[in-house]
Structure 1
Amino acid sequence: MEIRHATITAIGTFVPEKRLTNYDLEQMVDTSDEWIVQRTGIRERRISAPHEYTSDLCAAAVRDLMRRYGKSVNDVDMIIAATSTPDFPFPSTASLLQHKLGVSPSTGAMDVSAACAGFVYGLHLANGLIASGLHRKILVVGGETLTKITDYTDRTTCVLFGDGAGAVLIERDERRSSFLSSRLSTEGSGGAHVYQTRIANRINGVELIDKQLLVQNGREVFKWAVRTVPEGVREVLSNASLDLGQVDWFVPHSANLRMIEPICERLGLPPERALYSLEYFGNTSAATIPLALDLGIRAGKIRQGDLALLYGFGSGLVQAGMLVRLELDPEIEPPFPL
Structure 2
Amino acid sequence: MARFKFDNIKISGIASAVPTKIIKSTDYNERFGEDAVQKFVDMTGVKEHRESLLHQTASDFGYAAAEKLLTEKNIDRETIGVLLFGAHSTDYRRPATACVLHKRLGLSRECVAFDVGLGCSAFVYCVQIAASLLECSQEKRALIIVGETMTKMINPEDKSAAMLFGDGGAAVLLEKAEDSCIEGKLCSDGTGYRAIIAPAGGFRNLEDSHEPMVWADGSTRTLYNTNMNGTDVFSFTVTKVPKTIKEFLSETEQDVTQFDCLAFHQANQFIHQQLAKKLKADINKMPLCLDRYGNTSAPAIPILLSDAYGNDRTGQKLNVLMCGFGVGLSWGVMSAHINTDDILPIIETDELFEEGVIHSPEDMQ
**Matches of 1:301 and 1:241 in 2, distance apart?**
30
Does the residue aligned with 2:102 lie in a helix, a strand or coil? helix
Given that residues 307 and 345 in structure 2 are in contact (C-alpha distance below 8 angstroms), is that contact kept between their aligned partners in structure 1?
no
8 Å CA contact 2:310, 2:340 repeated in 1: no
Map 1:33-112 onto structure 2 (within 5 A). 33-112=37-116
User: Where do 1:125-140 residues align within 5 Å?
Assistant: 125-133=129-137, 135-140=139-144
Query: Quick one: distance in 2 between partners of 1:301 and 1:251?
Result: 19
The runs of 5 or more residues in structure 2 that have no matched partner are: 1-5, 206-214, 349-365
Offset at residue 298 of structure 1 (A): 2.1
Q: Is the aligned partner of 1:24 residue 2:27?
A: yes
Compared CA separation, residues 106 and 324, structure 1 to 2 (3 A) = same
| CA distance, structure 1, for counterparts of residue 318 and residue 176 of structure 2 | 20
Structure 1 residue corresponding to 2:192, chosen from 161, 166, 190:
190
The answer to whether the Cα contact below 8 Å between 1:12 and 1:63 also exists between their aligned partners in 2 is no
- Secondary structure (helix, strand or coil) at the match of 1:79 reads strand
Q: Spell out, residue by residue over 1:2-55, the C-alpha distance to the aligned partner (whole angstroms, 9 max, x if none).
A: x96211111111001011111222244345542222110011111111111111
Alignment of 1:1-338 (within 5 A): 5-30=8-33, 33-133=37-137, 135-173=139-177, 175-179=178-182, 181-197=183-199, 198-200=202-204, 211-298=223-310, 300=312, 304-329=316-341
Q: Distance in 2 between matches of 1:225 and 1:278?
A: 17
Q: Structure 2 length as normaliser, TM-score?
A: 0.84
User: Is the CA contact (8 Å cut-off) linking 1:4 and 1:131 kept in structure 2?
Assistant: no
- How many residue pairs end up in the alignment? 327
Distance across 2 between alignment mates of 1:240 and 1:303: 26
Measured after TM superposition, the shift of residue 116 of structure 1 is 0.2
How big is each residue's C-alpha offset from its partner over 1:188-242, in whole Å with a ceiling of 9 and x where there is no partner?
11111101122335xxxxx998621111011210111011111111122223221
**SS at 1:57 equivalent:** helix
CA contact (8 A) 1:79 1:140 kept: yes
Amino acid at match of 1:232: T
* RMSD over aligned Cα atoms: 2.3
Distance 2:78 2:54 in 1: 29
2:298 is paired with a residue whose SS is helix
> Displacement of 1:335 after TM fit?
6.8
Give the structure 1 partner of residue 358 of structure 2: none
Instruction: Name the amino acid aligned to 2:48.
Output: E
Match of 2:363 in 1: none
SS in 2 for 1:176: strand
Contact 1:4 1:132 in 2 (8 A): no
- Measured after TM superposition, the shift of residue 336 of structure 1 is 6.5
Deviations 1:63-93 (A, max 9, x none): 1212433334343111011101111122111
Q: Percent identity?
A: 28
Contact 1:119 1:287 in 2 (8 A): yes
Of residues 59-68 and 79-88 in structure 1, the stretch that sits farther from structure 2 once superposed is: 59-68
| 3-state secondary structure, aligned to 2:197 | strand
Q: Which has the higher contact order (CA 8 A, sep 6+)?
A: 2
TM-score under structure 1 length normalisation: 0.90
The amino acid of 2:302's aligned partner reads P
CA contact (8 A) 1:142 1:166 kept: yes
1:79–1:110: 8 Å Cα contact kept in structure 2? Answer: yes
2-structure distance, mates of 1:302, 1:141? 26
Tell me how far apart the structure 1 counterparts of residues 302 and 264 of structure 2 sit (CA, whole Å). 10
